[in-house]
Amino acid sequence: MSVGIIGAGAFGTALGLSLARKGPVDLWARDAEQVAAMRDTREHAKHLPGVPLPGTLRPSADFDHTAKNDILLLAVPMQQLRRVVSDHAEILTGKTLVACCKGVELQSGLGAAAVIADLLPDARIALLTGPSFATDVARGLPTALTLACADEALGQVLQRDLTTTNLRLYRTSDVIGAELGGALKNVIAIACGAVIGAGLGDSARAALLTRGYAEMQRMAIARGARPETLAGLSGLGDLVLTCTSDHSRNYRLGLSLGRGEAFDPSITVEGAATARAVAQEAARSGLDMPITHAVVGLLDTDLTINDAMADLLSRPLKEE
């Protein structure tokens, strides 16, 4: 089946590069100048400099043309997804849509697949997530991802059609689990970056990563996820990658917070809005999410990383 990609940022372009090895892929960007530059130079200078774009990857500023493909991957930032889908709802109705964003929408508390379902009840929806830096995918390095789809038959078709020589897709029907694993790990990555940035050490990071994983499970299971999904690529796999590599923008935001440095607000960092959305939901539902609350404190108040760690360490003692 033919593939189109909505969103020519780092990840959309990287997925396009990988899929274009199998056949033509249309890649939509909203900025016509950017499309012209990509066509002329065969490079995405802003997000993937130095990686040549093959002729089979076809940038376009024409949404409707790109949307004619059988499968559409939606690779825009989470907080923009509702706008992009609702702006083009008519042409997207009934299509096969694969969300590639990682986050929880601030206004609704919904994940990516749920936002699409909210807007387009007739769409055939799946989610592609898991440990995968765009630069690695774009360079053809080996990567394993989770394809989540409630419809088992459609999931099998998508798994086959979106697997490439460097992208190996595993399948699950647990969309909520995959969605939340990919969203919540970004919050924990900000926390881990902050402890490393503040010089609090690798042991503190290991503690946050592990207790952060417990927090992710708590929230995801409360929302109906299966625990084994959280233990897979979309949860633990992506958590480990994002909490240990300064290729991660979420981790780098954390490093800046820990060092008391400014961070470029134009960089896509999904964990910030997701932390706020999840903290709101945790407060409403009485879920214990202390690391998420600490991240919101670091982002939105003058809480320091040392105070945040002191708060976490002084909580009542309990069983693991």
Ligand X SMILES: O=C(CO)COP(=O)(O)O
The binding site consists of 7-12, 30, 102, 130, 132, 134, 185, 238, 248-250, 270
Q: Does 270 bind ligand NDP (CB under 6 A)?
A: yes
CA distances (Å), origin 62, targets 31, 57, 94, 187, 265: 10, 14, 19, 34, 28
The set of residues, in sequence order, having a beta carbon less than 8 Å from that of 117 and lying 6+ positions away, is 123, 125
Among 32, 141, 134, 160, smallest CA distance to 75 is for 134
Among 102, 205, 276, 293, binds ligand X (CB under 6 A): 102
Candidates 24, 77, 140, 290: give the one binding ligand NDP (CB under 6 A): 77
List the binding residues for substrate: 102, 249-250
Q: Work out how close the CB of 2 gets to ligand X at its nearest, in angstroms, rounded to a whole number.
A: 26
Name the DSSP letter for residue 160: H
Q: Which does 77 bind (CB under 5 to 8 A by kind): ligand X, ligand NDP, none?
A: ligand NDP
Structure tokens at 195: 């402890």
Contacts of 26 (CB under 8 A, 6+ apart): 3, 4, 5, 58, 60, 65, 66, 69
Burial of 203-216, coded b for 16+ CB within 10 Å and e otherwise, reads ebbebbbebbbebb
| Cβ atoms of residues 96 and 124 within 8 Å | yes
Residues within window 19-38 making contact with ligand NDP, judged by CB under 6 A = 29-31
- Does position 7 bind ligand NDP by CB under 6 A? yes
Q: Toward ligand NDP, which CB reaches closer, 42 or 200?
A: 42
Residues 106-145 that bind ligand NDP (CB under 6 A): 132-134
How many chain residues bind ligand NDP (CB under 6 A)?
26
Interacting residue with ligand X among 95, 249, 276, 293 (CB under 6 A): 249
Q: Which residues pair with 128 in a beta bridge?
A: 147
Residue 196 to residue 258: CA distance in whole angstroms: 7
DSSP strand E in 29-108: where? 57-60, 71-74, 96-99
- 105 binds ligand X, rule: CB under 6 A: no
Closest to ligand NDP by CB, 75 or 291: 75
Instruction: Pick the binder of ligand NDP from 3, 5, 8, 308 (CB under 6 A).
Output: 8
Distance (Å, whole) CA 32 – CA 44: 13
- Least separation in angstroms between residue 201's CB and ligand NDP is 27
Which member of 22, 46, 185, 318 is catalytic?
A: 185
Q: Which residues are catalytic?
A: 185
Q: Using CB under 6 A as the criterion, which residues of the chain lie in contact with ligand X when the complex forms? A: 102, 131-133, 186, 189, 238, 241-242, 248-250, 270
**Contacts to ligand NDP by CB under 6 A:** 7-12, 29-31, 47, 75-78, 80, 83-84, 100-103, 132-134, 268, 270
